[in-house]
Structure 1
Amino acid sequence: MSEKYTSLSEIIHERKSVRKFDPSFEISREEITAMLSEATLAPSSSNLQPWRFMIIQDQDTKKKVREYSFNQAQLETASAIIAVIGDTEMYHNIDEIYNANLEAGYIDKVNVELQIQNAKTSYPNAPVEARLNIAAFDAGLVSMQLMLIAKAKGYDTVPMGGFDKKQFAEAFELESRYVPLVLIALGKAAAPAYGSTRLPIEKIATFV
């Protein structure tokens, strides 16, 4: 946690969606890697971690992404664009993930074999749409975690779902199993973000 913020609650309240970034500000690859490492501690369905990340820092590439993202200026001025991509064939990683848990001592051999069997029975046989929904849900979890981590370090972000996902996939020659879900602009704000209100809890929550 940075010296600027003293609690998670403060970070949550201070994080806003910034759309004007300082184009001269740079964030190192090492720091972005560290933030992603923390963000991926987020939970995921059966711990299959169906998220992949493409970090775009090259200026010409950022300009190209802006062309099929409704000309949003933050795509070009942010220090980096982090594309969060869903793996709809996350089941290919079942053995690697669960055996790593076994090696780390988080689970015993009997239970790991049971979990591997259950995952291999359910995920490969699930419809593609269901697997995409799982990947999209998990991408939301890791994306929010990443944005809070960035804010804790004094950086700013804005998530964007408004881009041509088909064009993005074609431009970066993504395999069909990989689906771009959200772009996160990461950098240093050049102007304050607009504030926004939220519906009262009494209107959206029910205790039963």
Structure 2
Amino acid sequence: MSEMITTLIKERRSVRKYDPNFKIKEEEILEMLKEATLAPSTSNLQPWEFIVFLNPEERKDLRAIAYNQEQIETASAVIAVLGDKEFYKNIDSVYDSMSEAGYIDASSKEILVGNAKRTYPYAPEEARKNLATFDAGLAAMQLMLIAKDRGYATGPMGGFDKAKFSERFNIPDRYFPIVLITLGKENAPAYQTTRLAIEDKVKFI
């Protein structure tokens, strides 16, 4: 592992105190999300969506839904990561794009599309939600490391009312909220944490 990625992993902390006057341009947030979504996903079907909260009025409502946590309003942006439980609807567009890019030939595309269409539309909803949650989590973690590399702080937040979130922000039934990620400039050091001994968490067989 390179020294740079090791440093990023070791220095990333979940930040709660942000400089409320610091702004990040929409274009840069898009760049970071584009890089984050290079994360692996189930059959490359990319079962994630993002809502970037910048508007102060919208964030006041979001803060209430997130149990009044102040970083919702002081961070430069809050990124809601959503899962797509109907990600099978991406099958044609994903494999058409791969074919057009020359990454798969016609016969491979036919096999991949056929396998996906026989599998995912008929999988139980809970199974599809689990896959989407897992994949979106990979993208979320990648986003936080990308932000750290650019000098920004982040903090993942699972503590919010997901039902109220979906209602207030008119989330279609196809999607479901997973995590909020605050993004901005650190205004106070995050507290340090420890980890349990890895020898107690690993079994070689």
Aligning the two structures, in what range does the TM-score lie when normalised by the shorter sequence? over 0.9
Quick one: which of 63, 68, 71 aligns to 1:66?
63
Structure 1 residue 70: deviation in Å? 1.2
Q: May I ask how many residue pairs the two structures share in their alignment? A: 203
The amino acid that maps onto 1:31 is: E
Residue 169 of structure 2 is matched in structure 1 by 172
Quick one: which of 102, 105, 111 aligns to 1:105?
102
Counterpart-to-counterpart distance in 2, 1:109 and 1:198: 48
Residue 127 of structure 2 is matched in structure 1 by 130
Counterpart-to-counterpart distance in 1, 2:60 and 2:204: 48
Structure 1 residue 63: deviation in Å? 1.1
Report the 3-state secondary structure (helix = DSSP H, G, I; strand = E; otherwise coil) of the residue aligned with 2:166: helix
Root mean square deviation of aligned Cα: 0.7
Structure 1 residue 192: deviation in Å? 0.1
Counterpart-to-counterpart distance in 2, 1:64 and 1:78: 15
TM-score, normalisation: structure 2: 0.98
Cα deviations by residue, 1:178-206 (Å, 9 ceiling, x for unpaired): 10110000000100000000011100011
Quick one: which of 117, 121, 126 aligns to 2:118?
121
Residue 26 of structure 1 pairs with residue 23 of structure 2: yes
Residue 144 of structure 1 pairs with residue 135 of structure 2: no
5+ residue gaps in structure 1? 1-5
Cα deviations by residue, 1:19-75 (Å, 9 ceiling, x for unpaired): 000000000001000000100000001100000000000111111101011111111
Cα deviations by residue, 1:106-142 (Å, 9 ceiling, x for unpaired): 1111011111011011100011111100110011100
Report the 3-state secondary structure (helix = DSSP H, G, I; strand = E; otherwise coil) of the residue aligned with 1:7: helix
The amino acid that maps onto 1:183 is: L
Structure 1 residue 76: deviation in Å? 0.8
Residue 9 of structure 2 is matched in structure 1 by 12
Counterpart-to-counterpart distance in 1, 2:108 and 2:81: 31
Counterpart-to-counterpart distance in 1, 2:170 and 2:28: 27
Report the 3-state secondary structure (helix = DSSP H, G, I; strand = E; otherwise coil) of the residue aligned with 1:19: coil
Residue 91 of structure 1 pairs with residue 106 of structure 2: no
Counterpart-to-counterpart distance in 2, 1:200 and 1:108: 47
Report the 3-state secondary structure (helix = DSSP H, G, I; strand = E; otherwise coil) of the residue aligned with 1:52: strand
Residue 57 of structure 1 pairs with residue 50 of structure 2: no
Residue 3 of structure 1 is matched in structure 2 by none
The amino acid that maps onto 1:119 is: A
The amino acid that maps onto 1:170 is: E
TM-score, normalisation: structure 1: 0.96
Quick one: which of 189, 197, 201 aligns to 2:198?
201
Counterpart-to-counterpart distance in 1, 2:137 and 2:201: 20
The amino acid that maps onto 1:146 is: L
The amino acid that maps onto 2:160 is: F
Structure 1 residue 207: deviation in Å? 1.4
Structure 1 residue 8: deviation in Å? 0.6
